[in-house]
Amino acid sequence: MSMPLSKRMGAELIGTFWLVLGGCGSAVLAASLPAGIGLVGVSMAFGLTVLTMAFAIGHISGCHLNPAVSVGLVVGGRFPAKELLPYIIAQVIGATIAAALIYFIASGKEGFDVASGLASNGYAEHSPAGYSLAAGFASEVVMTATFILIIMGATDSRAPAGFAPIAIGLALTLIHLISIPVTNTSVNPARSTGPALFVGGWALQQLWLFWVAPLIGAVIGGALYKGLFREP
């Protein structure tokens, strides 16, 4: 029997909270210490959040943790469109609660300045390595489309059973290894929204990109998998 929507929303809220706390939290709190974890460590942290939550709540809500994943699965025929908005609302709330906790913890250190970004996504002067709007847009579209392809392939009934969380977690790690320098890596509008709400200013002004590009990528990825590889 299917789990009630309210409980699945709760699972998505908790899961997205963990993703943002683990991923953005590691970037804000642990990346740049003298013995910090750096780009590789932050990339691994994002992957580990998805891997661990996929095992924890995958059987409850599907462990989307990401509006783009939910949209991609709708387009790919794996998720009902009528449940899309409730999932997205739960994901954004979870991401916002996590960002609030990161802000609270980070502000406990003398000299903390939220204007430094709180792991927000950005382009041009707010790209970690100064990449343009066009570069950021292309990166986010392609990374998200590929992520959806991997998710749909790993969870296909023809795929080896039980390994999907590992494949999906490693995919998100790889995506971050590639694209943190470009946009700080979104591929997830909820993950982008939480920190931007606390940073304000430039982060909110640039937030549109991290909704539009991932959602375009999600539609492409979902449509490609459905069109090319759909289960018979």
Sequence-distant (≥ 6) Cβ neighbours of residue 46 within 8 angstroms:
19, 22, 23, 26, 172, 173, 176, 185
Range of the domain at 34: 5-226
Task: Let me know if residue 209 belongs to a domain.
Answer: yes
Closest residue by Cα to residue 15 from 65, 62, 60: 65
The mean of the pLDDT values for the chain is: 95
- Which of the residues in the chain have pLDDT under 50? none
Please report whether residue 232 resides in a domain.
no
Number of domains in the chain: 1
Query: What confidence tens digit (pLDDT) does each residue in 91-127 have?
Result: 999 999 999 999 999 999 888 888 777 999 999 999 9
pLDDT of residue 195: 97
Which CATH number is 46's domain given? Answer: 1.20.1080.10
Name 204's Cβ contacts closer than 8 Å, sequence gap at least 6.
196, 197
231 occurs within a structural domain = no
Instruction: Give SS3 for 214.
Output: helix
Query: Tens of pLDDT along 42-61?
Result: 999 999 999 999 999 999 99
* Residue 121: inside a domain: yes
Contact between 203 and 211 (Cβ < 8 Å): no
DSSP three-state, residue 230: coil
| Cα dihedral 46, 52, 56, 58 in deg (nearest 10) | 60
Residue 131, CB half-sphere, CA atoms under 13 Å: how many?
A: 21
DSSP-derived letter for residue 2 is P
Rounded Cα–Cα distance for residues 43 and 33 (Å): 16
Residue 180 lies in a domain: yes
